[in-house]
Amino acid sequence: MSEYRLQMHGISKSFPGVKALDKVNLEIRPGTVHALMGENGAGKSTLMKCLFGIYHMDEGEVYVDGEKMDISNPDEALHHGLAMVHQELQPVPDRTIAENMYLGRYPVKKYGPIQVIDHKAMNAEASKWLENVKMPFDPKKKLGDLSISQMQSVEIAKAVSQDAKLIILDEPTSSLTETEVEALFNIVKDLRKRGVSFVYISHKMAEIRQIADDITIMRDGTYVGSWRIEDISDNEIVKQMVGRELTNVYPPLENTPGDVLLEIKGYSSIHERSFQDCSFTLRRGEILGFGGLVGAQRTELMEAIFGMRHTTKGEVLLNGRKITIKRPQDAIRNGIGMITEDRRGTGILGCLSIADNVSIASLDHYLEAGIKLNNKKIEGLVQDNVAKLSIKTPDSKTLIQNLSGGNQQKVIISRWLANNPDVLIMDEPTRGIDVGAKYEIYQIMIGLAKQGKGIIMISSEMPELLGVSNRIMIMCNGKITGEVSGEEATQENVMKYATQF
């Protein structure tokens, strides 16, 4: 029996113009959670895709339980006990939980020459496995009715039902609430006790501390090293990832809020249980944070302000003048931009290039004689943003879907910087973004505020909310329950208002 469940030795992989992996190593012990960390574009997801044969590695060796393997597709990987819960889940929402779990391997019943799916057996099996990982869902429920975290749990149950010994979780908690994270961690801990290993990819240091046994760090496609988690400090992890010491997490707030820029009065949703009677002001040069727990309806309120949702009542005043926003186009015309929380759903245009994705919201700034696009000017804009946000890409023609998750987020941010709005709403702007790049994004936000723009930032990361907001509004159950700034802006005060039912 090998000491390691999985060994990857000297893995290299190039794409046109990028050496994504350069002789990377990874060794996973049985029954452990192994954190895989590195900046955006370091090569974490690519390494896992090589393991599963989704990408064909250029060189390197893979051993499972000491035995050399040549895995050419995910089915084969599963056959050897390796399963992956994807960064982008691709379940079939119209089908039941059981059907999703047994997709491609339905149990069948034979009636003479005819074969039919044995639903009863399938549901019974699914039920057993769901219970096995302590998720007592009804397997006949539609998968689409579950939350993202529950769908992830189903994916894990599916992996376990297929006898997986190593499960890859690639940024599994990026859209989960705190309680959901806890539920996920309980499943992980329970399976770990039963000998299952995990590769855990995340940018959240606190989570790594909570769950990981070992850690491997990558930088720019190279292998930096591996440690037992108790042998390396948080600062050291950051230093190894970034390649230099990072002293400050937040840049100084050098902007000074001025006159009122935007005023929202009595915004109420058409849905009773959504936001009701919300009023607030945003000043020029201000970063206004929005705190609250999940379900507080912050995103819904901002989407309504941006014209993506209907309201029964409410007024918007921009520079003291009443404006009407019925659709996002109205908001954009009035100089309001929004970076949405869910970049995959409403943000990225996967099959277009980076240049198209950056320029799409501001094309009319680049028209010559009102008809022809000035591509040179667009290229200039894109280059400028690629440099400013250090987007890791070979060139601006690269398809956005080929970028790493965090770099896609940076492209979306550039899109709105290019459009140069007076009011920019940012919903969880640093989700999936590594520590170094976060700092750059905060600097850009402060820079915009210094130019007199108003920024609204929804954030579920308490330190970020406190670290980069001039003032914080707090919501709970669809209502604005509090406002804090200066010395009052403390975690306790935010939590007090966030739980004021």
CA atoms of 313 and 322, how far apart (whole Å): 14
The total of other beta-carbon atoms located within 10 Å of residue 143's CB is: 22
41 near Mg ion, rule: CB under 5 A: no
Residues 188 and 211: beta-carbon distance below 8 Å: yes
Partner that binds at residue 429, options ligand ATP, Mg ion, none, CB closer than 5 to 8 Å by kind: none
472 near ligand ATP, rule: CB under 6 A: no
406 near ligand ATP, rule: CB under 6 A: yes
314 near Mg ion, rule: CB under 5 A: no
Piece of the chain touching ligand ATP by CB under 6 A; list 23-31, 36-44, 121-129, 134-142:
36-44
Residue 295: CB partners within 8 Å, gap ≥ 6? 177, 477
Residues 130 and 96: beta-carbon distance below 8 Å: no
By the 10 Å C-beta count (0-12 exposed, 13-18 middle, 19+ buried), 17 is classed as: exposed
Nearest CB to ligand ATP, comparing residues 166 and 437? 437
DSSP 351-397: TSBHHHHHHGGGGGGGEETTTEE-HHHHHHHHHHHHHHTT---S-TT
15 near ligand ATP, rule: CB under 6 A: yes
How many Cα neighbours within 13 Å face the side chain of 193?
6
Q: Which of 4, 5, 33, 40 binds ligand ATP (CB under 6 A)?
A: 40
Least distance from C-beta 218 to ligand ATP, angstroms?
A: 7
CA atoms of 263 and 53, how far apart (whole Å): 53
Report the candidate in 66, 32, 36 with the shortest Cα–Cα distance to residue 50: 36
Nearest CB to ligand ATP, comparing residues 81 and 221? 221
Nearest CB to ligand ATP, comparing residues 46 and 396? 46
Q: Which of residues 250-309 bind ligand ATP (CB under 6 A)?
A: none
Nearest CB to ligand ATP, comparing residues 38 and 429? 38
CA atoms of 189 and 31, how far apart (whole Å): 9
42 near ligand ATP, rule: CB under 6 A: yes
Nearest CB to ligand ATP, comparing residues 257 and 432? 432
45 near Mg ion, rule: CB under 5 A: yes
Report the candidate in 341, 342, 419 with the shortest Cα–Cα distance to residue 385: 419
407 near Mg ion, rule: CB under 5 A: no
Residues 218 and 24: beta-carbon distance below 8 Å: yes
Q: Which of 22, 24, 33, 43 binds ligand ATP (CB under 6 A)?
A: 43
Nearest CB to Mg ion, comparing residues 45 and 153? 45
Piece of the chain touching ligand ATP by CB under 6 A; list 99-107, 363-371, 404-412, 422-430:
404-412
Q: Which of 257, 405, 429, 482 binds Mg ion (CB under 5 A)?
A: 405
Piece of the chain touching Mg ion by CB under 5 A; list 40-48, 322-330, 380-388, 480-488:
40-48
Q: Which of 402, 420, 485, 499 binds ligand ATP (CB under 6 A)?
A: 402
CA atoms of 203 and 217, how far apart (whole Å): 12
Report the candidate in 99, 103, 108, 22 with the shortest Cα–Cα distance to residue 57: 22
Least distance from C-beta 315 to Mg ion, angstroms?
A: 42
Residues 136 and 130: beta-carbon distance below 8 Å: yes
Piece of the chain touching ligand ATP by CB under 6 A; list 15-23, 56-64, 306-314, 330-338:
15-23
Q: Which of 35, 41, 389, 467 binds ligand ATP (CB under 6 A)?
A: 41
Least distance from C-beta 308 to ligand ATP, angstroms?
A: 26
Partner that binds at residue 20, options ligand ATP, Mg ion, none, CB closer than 5 to 8 Å by kind: ligand ATP
417 near ligand ATP, rule: CB under 6 A: no
Nearest CB to ligand ATP, comparing residues 76 and 220? 220
CA atoms of 494 and 499, how far apart (whole Å): 9
Residue 471: CB partners within 8 Å, gap ≥ 6? 257, 286, 288, 289, 483, 484, 485, 489
Which stretches of the chain bind Mg ion, using CB under 5 A?
45, 404-405
Which stretches of the chain bind ligand ATP, using CB under 6 A?
15, 18, 20, 38, 40-46, 392-393, 402-407
